[in-house]
Amino acid sequence: MLTRSSPAHRSLSLPRLSLRRPQSVARHPCLPSFHTSTRRLLTARVDLPPRRRKIPQDTYGSAPIFQRSLATAIGDPIRQDDIPFEHMPSHMPNSFMQPLPHPRLYDIRPFDSSSLLQIKALDDAPPRMRMNVNGIPGGVDEMMSVFDACIQVGKLDRAALVLSRLSDAAVLSPHEMVALHNQYLRAYLNRAFEQPDVEWARSIHKWYELHIRGKDLPQTSETIACMLKVSLLSARGVRLERLVTRYLDMMPGDAMYQVLSEMDILSQQDFGTIASIYQPASDLFEEFDFSPEEQSSSSVAPATSTSPSEPKKSERDESPEVLSVPQKGLGLQSLRSVLTFFSKVKGEDVSRLTIPERREIQARMEQDCVDAAINRWREENEALKKMGLNAALSTHALNSQLYEWQHALETRLEKEFALFEKSESRDKKTAEDHDRCITAPFLSQSTPSRLAAVTIICVLNSISSTGVDSGIQLSTLLNQLSKGVEDDIKVLIRQRQSPPKFKRGKRIRQPKVAKQQDGSVSSPAESPSAEADAKPKTVEPAAFQTKAWPLLIRTKVGAVLLSALMDTAKVEMVREHPETKALVSQRQPALSHTTMHRRGKKVGLVMPNKFLVELLKREPPADFLARHLPMLSEPEPWTKFDKGGFLEFPAQLIRVKYGEKDQRIYAEAAMQRGDLEQVSKGLDVLGRTGWRINGPVFDVILDAWNSGERVANIPPLHPNIPTPVEPEASDNPLQRREWFRALRAAENLKSGLHSERCFMNLQLEIARAFRDQTFYFPHNMDFRGRAYPIPTYLNHMGADHVRGLLRFAKGKELGESGLRWLKIHLANVFGYDKASLKEREAFMLDHIDEVYDSATSPLTGKRWWLKAEDPWQCLATCFELKAALDSPDPTKYVSHLPVHQDGTCNGLQHYAALGGDLWGAQQVNLEPGDRPADVYSAVAELVKRGIAEDMEADNFLAKAVDGKITRKVVKQTVMTNVYGVTFTGAKAQVLKQLDAAYPNFHQDTDVPAAIAASYIATKIFKGLSSMFRGAHDIQYWFGECAGRVCRALTPEQIERIAQGGEEIPKPLKSNSRKQPKTATDHLLTHFRSTVVWTTPLRMPIVQPYRKTGVRVIATSLQDLSLQVPERSDPVNRRKQLQAFPPNFIHSLDASHMLLSALECDELGLSFAAVHDSFWTHASDIDVMNRVLRDCFIRIHSEDVIGRLLSEFQARYKGALYLAKVDRGSAVEKKITKLRKDKKRTLTEELVHEYERVRLLSSADPKDVKKGKKMVTPASIFEEMSATQPYSSADEMEALGLGNIPNAEAEAKVIDDLEGDGEDDDFSTPAGLDDIEGELGFSNPEHFKALMDVSRFESEITGAAKAKAKKPTNLGSLNIWLPLNFPDVPAKGDFDVARLKESKYFFS
């Protein structure tokens, strides 16, 4: 691609605004050859006269190309590097830079720490102002969102007020302000076309003179083009000539080219008029050769025109005839009527249509789901009226009542819309007026009818998904409702802003030349574009953005809609009079708002009416937004952060929680410079896998469901849960407390089963609708890179019944190998997965009769399949095996069943490879073996061995649990320990297994099951720590690195502090009882460096854990205290360092999965994954297993930890961190003496040390000499060759692999990771939580004595005070040290290449 050079002095910073462009204003066909995709400020230096310059054009002749500055090269879409660099020798002393001879998509790219993606840190956000008298909010992000919404709906007077307040506040740069002004000018031009006004041109000229020129804002080509358009439309004769000449004379030379590239503003007719008035422009046009390739048109085709293949509205609304199937709930017809595309295909398989037709159907399904729901509610309501029934009195008429809700809510919103103008124009505004001023621009982007439907759908789905009995938290409901409304409005905006279909006019042919920065001319063959390989290292993100609604907007919009729904939605309560037996009805609100106290805080709840609860249990809502449903066409490939997956519905590449900006900024920058090519294409591979419903399994599930009985994991319709008998009044209050706890447990169990059944009902409804179709699951990722399907309810990551329902759309012949693996798969899903492959194959032959019986009579036969670990998947396999064995040649049978290969505790596999643990590698099948090793059984044996030793010492706990340790008891704890489970979590996991296996454990052993669970968890942790010693050391290294990063200040921060812009205050005195804040406490607020690393697939991972501030937002329902995350928030150091080890392992297994997906796709395999469980056809298992091993070896053959260390050293170069030195040491004494002499503050020491480091790194020997003479605490530390201890050891104690924390460390972890717990239960044994970790059950007799003492008695008598004495801690001293990282732990002897021979790595 040929480009013209930019002037050297132009700014290299990215624009800080992310703004949507409104519709174009040109009303005639334009010159496409003048198009450019960027906006450049008119500050270019003029080196050549305009008539001598030519606009370079791309190789396709579609548009001229203007080279952007280096930083803006990040705006390019994903692309493959088309310039080979393999032949170039690398001179970097980096062991990770090993160029591949012919890089393939599934190869790991070379790592270069010098080209890391860095995001420039932002200054503190400007203080939030109060809402002014005009109803304009005070936050900059809020003002910009309101401005953008006002532009969308044409509220230009309100947009002008926002611009004026932004200008007065002076919080945006001139470049940002002129970008907003350009949007305003474009919107004004559009209004001029639609609503001609005599004064409109004068108003625009006045605005331009006062607010743009008058305030010396830097004008862009877009600004000048807009003013030229105004002049051409409003002036004639001499005035027009004067205005055109005036505006074009303002341009600095070659900027004329930029103005002439504004094809969406200026039409071809405008260019002709300009050329006739302005001679330099006329000379420019003479240089171009016009060739009439296609006839131009005088009008633009409307964007909303209906394509020939699109059916008419009447065809879309026609309901198809559907065979009725006996099922409780809505059934197929109710759901299919939501999806209007079925009215055209009439049950045919959509996959047989052409790709464009399938995409058209999918797009219409995404667009029409809301309108279709309204139509269905109306039709059911009218059908009941024709039958002479009252919809409100019909006990099974939820959907007809929804139409009444929708109609009432629509009427209420129409009244609300009518009040918008009055509230905005009122001089003295009330609180309601201020709320309307904020919400009006956003709600006006939709219609009352559509808003009402989206509100009903979102509220009912949110309540159903969380459990209809217990209600839903108000803040959660408002967030989900506003998110649904925001997404729906984005779909509407995208439809309105779809590009018009131009007919091409005259195309301008250009010589393919490009200007270099020195003015020379080169051809593409001689010199590749510098822009093509430009990869910026540091990117300046947008300070403010309007892509997502700010928290204030979302909360206000959600509150308005929810409040209106609660006021209008009614249900008719029908009850029988106890005496007269007559039916009595009463209209009651369907939803109510209440408050309750949770963990000492007042929490708002939205509770559904009991009658509505009964309706939702019988008839769950079958109205889904597009993101809830699978796709009927292949998902859109991911090309941008927010472009991919669904065709119309907005989706994000990475699931980022609201307000967490860092991950999105890094991901967008990496996406735009091409770093996420492998990741995005890996997600595309997962999305392209076609699925179908397994018909035989679905029929069995439907029969089981309609029976109302418990079958496998299907909850019973009427569960038999006995209610505990209330005890008689007695002097012992503990008896009633125990009864209350048992009663609450029974209610929770019943409510949980109801919630499960409601959720399962939604899944079955979707499965029925898609039964005859091929469908797809678009995927995205969490911030660690783990892939998830976007459709919520029905996907292959669901429970056993959902996995049993799904099969591949594409089938493959089994062959000998496939038939063998299908038999092995039966053993795996049955639970016989720890035997050898031969034994598993023989398992099927040994149970051939049971297999045939299960497939022939699944519910009326022996029901052998229900004994399986995964019964529904076992039944699916039985159906497949029977069909294959009954065929003439089983090896020729075309199988559609996904066959799974599961890793052996995948997290421990990565840890064993990282640490080189030979013993650990053997336990997780990294080492070849004749039989599969089982780490869970190995840990269970270690636990049994420890218990046997304690029994010899007559330990009563060992006697209580002897013979009760099984693989199942320890499995979950072992599996989750690698991902950071706390000791408290491990105890709960073991307790759950003990309660399930031994419900009468306490009565049989006289030992509470909770105490036994703590004892067993202790043994599990000890066994893990001995088995994975190398992994244990790496976890601590991870934590120490993260801890240092989170206590570091960047060079930019230090420079601001040195210049006085970011002062660290001195200790403050306080009259409160709390301890006064020290300088260190204030310093903690400046620690903002989060842990960032890059995966082997070049995806940047940013940990989001910060100490977020809280903002109180007043709504019509209640005042809400909501967290408002900001990039300037200080990091939560404890969460950062404790979450880093499991998150890093997650990022590795995600990289392994995506790498495997890419290679399998290259080999033609169908591929699906559930984290560490990989699926393909039975005939392809051998190939997939080879790919899995090769990809794992490819990742771990490199020095993963060494590469991470190299990245940390480059990413945090030049930073200083606050280290701790133990008091009483020789280093501490010498530093204390220095401080007494120098009397420097902590801030002064920071600046002094930064200056010393700067001088030592200088190339000038004099500076180096000067730096060596400086004496600082860090220089003393280095002089005495002190080694920095692991300052994060205390925080890692509670989460280290196999580490048993003390009570204090455990409490801190629970407080940080899980929030404040509930009040202590004073009926639990006294102090056991305090002593079990510290004593480690080393004093069983004391432990046994405390078992009979309640916590209340313990607190009164002090019985639990006998704790182990802690060593005296003298404290520590804080000093500034250059940020370096500890040495990587030594690696063990295991060679990952031996994995090639392991056939049980995944099996």
CA 897-900-902 angle, to 5 degrees, is: 175
Most confident of 205-219, 296-310, 323-337: 205-219
Of the candidates 938, 1148, 912, 903, the one whose C-alpha atom is nearest the C-alpha of residue 1028 is 912
Average pLDDT, integer, range 166-173: 87
pLDDT at 729: 76
* Residue-wise DSSP of 18-63: ----------S---GGG--S---BS-----S-GGG----B-TTSSS
Nearest Cα to Cα of residue 3 among 46, 72, 64, 60: 64
> In the prediction, which pLDDT does 470 show?
73
- Examine the residue annotation and report whether 155 is marked as an active-site residue of this protein: no
What is the pLDDT at residue 1152? 94
Interval 1257-1265 mean pLDDT: 90
pLDDT at position 781 is 92
In this model, does residue 536 exceed pLDDT 60? Answer: no
- Residues 67-90: what's their mean pLDDT? 37
Mean pLDDT over each residue of the chain, to the nearest integer: 76
pLDDT value, residue 1283: 65
Query: Active site includes 1161?
Result: no
pLDDT at 1061: 56
Per the residue annotation, which of 107, 317, 782, 902 is the catalytic one? Answer: 902
What single letter denotes the amino acid at residue 1064?
Answer: I
**pLDDT band for position 21 (cuts 50, 70, 90):** very low
DSSP label at residue 128: P
For residue 1309, which amino acid is it?
V
Q: What is the pLDDT of residue 1153?
A: 94
Euclidean distance between CA atoms 301 and 387, whole angstroms: 47
State the pLDDT at residue 1282.
Answer: 64
pLDDT attached to residue 349: 75
> Given the structure tokens 């099996």, which residue do they identify?
1403
Give the mean model confidence (pLDDT) for residues 742-759.
82
3-state secondary structure of 217: coil
pLDDT at 347: 56
Phi/psi for 1049 (5° steps) reads -115, 135
Catalytic pick among 433, 1172, 1180, 1329: 1172
- Residue 320, pLDDT > 50, answer no
Q: Quick check: is 971 catalytic?
A: yes
Which range is most confident: 354-368, 618-632, 666-680? 666-680
How would residue 1245 be classed by pLDDT, with cut points 50, 70 and 90? confident
- Which one is predicted more confidently, 138 or 1292? 138
Percent of the chain's residues with pLDDT above 70:
73
Average pLDDT over residues 1008-1015: 85
Please give the average per-residue pLDDT across 57-81, as a whole number: 36
Q: Identify each DSSP E strand in 1074-1150 by its residue range.
A: 1092-1094, 1100-1102, 1109-1114, 1119-1124
pLDDT in tens, 1126-1164: 777 888 888 888 889 989 999 999 999 999 999 999 999
Q: Is the pLDDT of residue 1354 over 80?
A: no
Q: Which of 515, 617, 971, 1022 is catalytic?
A: 971
Burial of 173-197, coded b for 16+ CB within 10 Å and e otherwise, reads bebbbbbbbbbbbbbbbbebeeeee
Would you state the pLDDT for residue 1203?
92
Question: Higher-confidence residue: 867 or 544?
Answer: 867
**More confident site: 1326 or 906:** 906
Question: pLDDT tens-digit profile of 708-724?
Answer: 889 988 988 888 888 88
Assess whether pLDDT exceeds 70 at residue 1073.
no
Q: What is the pLDDT of residue 751?
A: 77
Q: Which amino acid is at 939?
A: V
- pLDDT for 912-934, tens place per residue? 899 888 888 888 888 888 888 88
* 334 against 658, higher pLDDT: 658
- Largest interatomic CA distance in the chain: 110
**In whole angstroms, what is the distance from residue 697 CA to residue 690 CA?**
18
Q: Among 250-264, 344-358, 463-477, 842-856, which range has the highest average pLDDT?
A: 842-856
pLDDT in tens, 230-252: 888 888 888 888 888 888 888 76
Indicate if the pLDDT at residue 390 is higher than 60. no
pLDDT for position 626: 66
**Which tokens in the block code for residue 301?**
């085709």
pLDDT at 1094 over 80: yes
Return the structure tokens found at 1396.
């090639």
Q: Confirm if 773 and 350 have CB atoms less than 8 A apart.
A: yes
Which of 282-291, 636-645, 1289-1298 is most confident? 636-645
Tell me what pLDDT residue 259 has: 82
Highest mean pLDDT among 514-518, 1165-1169, 1325-1329: 1165-1169
Q: What percent of the chain is modeled with pLDDT above 90?
A: 22
Choice between 515 and 1398, residue whose per-residue pLDDT is larger: 1398
For 1176-1214, write each residue's pLDDT tens digit.
999 999 999 999 999 999 999 999 999 999 999 999 998
CA distances to 957, 1025, 1332, 1343, 1364 from 1338, rounded to whole Å, are 11, 18, 9, 9, 11
What are the pLDDT digits (tens) for 556-594?
Answer: 999 999 999 999 988 877 777 777 777 777 788 888 888
Beta bridge partners of 591: 608
pLDDT, residue 607, reads 87
- Are the C-beta atoms of 914 and 1030 separated by less than 8 Å? yes
**Which of 484-498, 813-827, 1304-1318 has the weakest average pLDDT?**
1304-1318
